[in-house]
Amino acid sequence: MRILLLTALAVVFAASLGGAAHAQSADATIAARKAGMDLLAAASGAMKRTIDAKTDVKPLKGTADAIAAWALAVPGLFPAGSDKGATKASADAFSDPAGMAKASGAMHAAALKLSSAADANDAPAFAAAYAELGAACGGCHRTYRQR
């Protein structure tokens, strides 16, 4: 009887530990994707300032490459269970992984264009790709982020 009780307690304890670990990792995932989005906004702001200042876009190649890499990572940052908590991701971000991948793909394509325009120090091409990047942000947010 005593052993049975201890076993039952151990099972309940293990289950609650598992639950806590799960909630914790969902919170960490939410914090990581939001921080990544904030860095993305900062990177995009730096691009905009360079375009407006009409200075060399060449130094922004690394930033563009980082955005391209981030775009590939984004769809994996919305695992089941990370839909609850301090998140503004819409239900569609979890139920429509193909749509999320497509929206991230648009950001990836724009970032690759930014990268080659920066490499060539081609300011007009960079500005055109920047407009495409902005459209990719908005295109995804319209469906996959709550207002």
Is residue 76 within 8 Å of residue 35, measured between CB atoms?
Answer: no
Among 60, 64, 68, 100, binds ligand HEC (CB under 6 A): 100
CB atoms within 10 A of CB 142: 11
Give the nearer residue to ligand HEC in terms of CB position, either 14 or 135.
135
Q: Which one of the spans 10-18, 51-59, 119-127, 135-143 is the region binding ligand HEC (CB under 6 A)?
A: 135-143
Give the nearer residue to ligand HEC in terms of CB position, either 16 or 143.
143
71-94 as b/e: b if 16+ CB within 10 A:
beebbebbeeebbeeebebbeebb
Site for ligand HEC in 79-98 (CB under 6 A): 87-89, 93
> Minimum distance between the CB of residue 21 and ligand HEC, rounded to whole angstroms?
20
Q: Which one of the spans 1-9, 20-28, 116-124, 136-144 is the region binding ligand HEC (CB under 6 A)?
A: 136-144
Phi and psi at 145, nearest 5°, equal -125, 135
Quick one: tokens of 133? 């990047």
Q: How far apart are CA 36 and CA 27, in angstroms?
A: 14
| Residues in touch with ligand HEC (CB under 6 A) | 30, 33-34, 37-38, 40-41, 44, 74, 87-89, 93, 100, 103-104, 107, 133, 136-137, 140-141, 144-145
